[in-house]
């Protein structure tokens, strides 16, 4: 949970694949494999981006039970809104982060019974 | 809510409470449906169907039944049929929720 600085966020958002990962995981949690297919990248490239996104606290990791009884890590976007304002000779920026989705929490809770 | 009979404040309150529980139950059912869509978790399908039957459909049946009888569309002796329908829907809904607990993968 680091509050990343502006340069980090801008560098991340400069990458089209990062933007694509954020857009896809804002809709539903996705695994690295699913993201790889979605972006047309190797899972290695996906993981590299996911690590940087996690460090900046722009994606969160959740676990999801698979049909074979194992669990896999899935990723959810935390970026709700990124705002940059230039006013009165100064520049300010703000990140609005998403709280965990109720539906995901319900799914996880129900699985624990 | 004319159908709940506005003859006493108690029945008005009962109607409000019934409506509130239907709304909350259907809301939880909707979140379970979103959980199914987001996480492909089959237990969420049964939970959402169960919640919607147990709170949404039973409420609609009760309101429809009372309305139809109040406006004399349906003879009063069929009231028990509506009661039975509500009870059966409750059992089926609870069955779905119990089943969703069974299929829920323990983490």
pLDDT by residue, tens only, chain B of 107 residues: 455 556 788 888 988 999 999 999 999 999 999 999 988 888 999 999 999 999 999 999 999 988 888 888 888 888 889 899 999 999 999 999 999 998 875 54
Q: For chain B, what is the radius of gyration of the CA atoms?
A: 16
Spatial CA neighbour of A80 closest among A4, A3, A26, A21: A26
Q: Is A105:B39 a contact under the CB 8 Å cutoff? A: no
Nearest to A104 among B35, B43, B101 (CB): B35
**Contact criterion met (CB < 8 Å) for B43 and A106:** no
pTM value is 0.76
**Number of Cβ atoms within 10 Å of the Cβ of A103:** 23
Q: Is B41:A106 a contact under the CB 8 Å cutoff? A: no
Q: Which residue has the tokens 């600085």?
A: A5
Q: Report yes or no: B99 at the A interface, CB cutoff 8 Å.
A: no
């Amino acid at each position: 949970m680091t509050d990343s600085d502006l340069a980090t966020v801008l560098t991340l958002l400069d990458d089209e694949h990062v933007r694509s990962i954020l857009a896809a995981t804002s809709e539903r949690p996705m695994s690295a494999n699913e993201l790889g297919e979605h972006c047309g990248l190797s899972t290695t490239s996906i993981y590299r981006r996911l690590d940087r996104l996690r460090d900046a606290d722009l994606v969160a990791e959740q676990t999801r039970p698979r049909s074979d009884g194992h669990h896999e890590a899935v990723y959810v976007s935390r970026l709700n809104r990124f705002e940059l304002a230039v006013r009165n000779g100064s520049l300010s920026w703000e990140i609005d982060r998403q709280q965990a989705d109720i539906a995901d929490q319900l799914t996880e809770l129900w699985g624990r019974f | 809510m004319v159908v709940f009979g506005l003859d006493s404040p108690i029945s008005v309150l009962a109607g409000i409470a019934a409506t509130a529980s239907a709304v909350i139950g259907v809301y939880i059912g909707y979140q379970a449906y979103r959980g199914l869509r987001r996480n492909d978790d089959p237990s969420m399908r049964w939970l959402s169907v169960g919640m919607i039957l147990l709170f949404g459909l039973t409420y609609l049946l009760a309101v429809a039944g009372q309305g139809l009888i109040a406006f004399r569309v349906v003879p009063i002796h069929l009231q028990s049929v509506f009661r039975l329908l509500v009870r059966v829907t409750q059992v089926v809904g609870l069955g779905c929720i119990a089943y969703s607990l069974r299929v829920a993968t323990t983490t």
